[in-house]
Amino acid sequence: MAKIKLLATISSEFGISPDRLDELDIIDTQLTVDTHLFIDPLLLPSSKHEEMSVGAATAYEQRFEFIVKLLTASKAQGDLPWRKAAKLFSFSEVSWTCLGYSASIRGAGFGPELSATTLKTASEIVNLGITDIDFFMGLSLLEEGIGPDRISDMTTNIIINNLVDFTLRVNAILGIPTKKFLVAGREVNLPLNPYTQEQLIFVPRDIVRDLPIATDWSDIARVSKENEDYREKVSGGIGKIWSTMTKKKKSELKESALKSKEAFEQVLELLHEVPKKPYDFDADTNGEHFWIKLLDIAHKHPMAGALATNPSTIAEAKALVVKIIEQFQDLIENKGIWKELWTDDEKPRKEKAAQRLFFSIAYSYCKANNLDITPEADSGNGPVDFKFSKGFDVRIVVEIKLSTNSSLVRGYTSQLEIYKKAEDTVEGVYLVIDVGHIGNKYGDIQRIRREAIDQHEQVSAIYLVDGNRKASASKR
């Protein structure tokens, strides 16, 4: 999670039901920090929205077909066709969609150096006789520095007018206040992001993935293990290298892929085998979406008992944090919120999803009680999951681990203590969420804590929340 100072999404900011945005197939993005989803160009042709399946898919295809023609015509790096291709291959970061990996909504884009080295590799591929424009996606496998952000930025630059058309059509239904902006040479009235004072551009849910197809070797390795027909295709040559890749071997793959037209065609064949499926917002395995609908949970389930609404001492803040954790535990164990820890196919969501669930719940209570909460506060020794604070003197850090985490014990014995020192506090909480496979791990950290107490050492509190799936009330 990025350092979210304020929870604000399209739905919460403009008073729109998240379900309404789901119906319109719009990503309910955060407005102050990037949502970790990325536009994948290979998903454009199958979109249900004509602006994407026709307009955007055509714009993307035409851009790279022209670049291929220019690189084919180029006789030397720097000549006129090369310079024209380089101009078309220049992609700036686009923040208006609020997608990416940035801690704000600002990313990186393609810089001049990366654009130049990538274009050189593209030229080598074209010189092999490759004209399939999908090879531009394959470049992310060969070039250092091209990750999901840059693939998404590249695509967004090319299809920006089509995204604007989609936004205009959908906002005619939603009626979000607009302001006149100049986008890609067009003067258009677009929704205003009140936190950046920039235009807000909607993105359809069916053109994004949690990672664009083949931004690295992991998708290929995973698919090759799951699919028997696919394993036959990776039995030798490029495929064998690809399916057993580590990041250190990226240069080896590039060297092998550029040896011949046949070698690179195998790269393309393998690339096309990866399923072209958008992110599943219903399953939401990564926890990018579900927690947004829980932002008003403090109103639905108010905490009982009087608490300091403006804690000024560490004792008052600790009492409030403990109360929030106990409320979180009650919601999970007794109010049905345990369901949010699991996907529809009865698998636990990732640890990041559990952290976001805690954050969405804790945020609403902190807001009501005037206590600051910072997710992934980083003071140079790695990020702690959460820091509760009030000024400099009142600081409490909270680390969250799922029972499935192999580092559960080490997280208590080393990570949390390092984070406490980094944040200049002696107060820490270790929150364990049991979703199965806990074994002896919880008993081990309790034993370590008791031994530390016997040695008169400062120890962190441990809380265990039962997040396991529960039978319906009628079956208990």
Distance (Å, whole) CA 156 – CA 408: 40
Distance (Å, whole) CA 329 – CA 342: 16
C-alpha gyration radius of the chain = 25
Tell me how long the chain is: 476
Distance (Å, whole) CA 463 – CA 291: 22
Per-residue confidence in pLDDT tens, the chain, 476 aa: 444 456 788 998 999 998 999 999 999 998 887 788 888 888 999 999 999 999 999 999 999 999 999 999 999 999 999 999 999 988 887 888 888 754 434 445 567 788 888 899 999 999 999 999 988 877 777 777 776 677 788 889 999 999 999 999 999 999 999 999 999 889 999 999 998 899 999 999 999 988 655 444 455 555 445 544 444 444 444 444 444 545 546 677 778 888 889 888 887 877 777 778 899 998 888 778 887 777 777 677 777 665 556 677 888 888 888 888 998 999 999 988 999 899 888 889 888 888 888 888 887 777 777 777 776 644 333 444 777 777 767 778 888 899 999 989 888 877 666 656 655 666 788 899 999 999 999 999 999 889 888 888 778 889 999 999 987 654 54
Three-state DSSP class for residue 358: helix
Phi, psi of 436 (to 5 degrees): 110, 165
Model pLDDT, residue 171: 97
The reply to whether the predicted model has a pTM over 0.95 is no
Model pLDDT, residue 5: 53
DSSP 8-state code for residue 412: I
- For 157-183, how does the pLDDT look when each residue is reduced to its tens digit (9 = 90+)? 999 999 999 999 999 999 999 999 999
Closest CA to 345 of 284, 295, 399: 284
DSSP 8-state code for residue 226: H
Residue 294's Cβ-side half-sphere holds a number of Cα atoms within 13 Å equal to 27
Model pLDDT, residue 235: 43
Model pLDDT, residue 307: 56
Model pLDDT, residue 384: 47
Model pLDDT, residue 308: 56
Model pLDDT, residue 21: 95
Distance (Å, whole) CA 13 – CA 7: 9
CB 314 within 8 A of CB 248: no
E strand or H helix at 464, and its extent?
A: strand 461-466
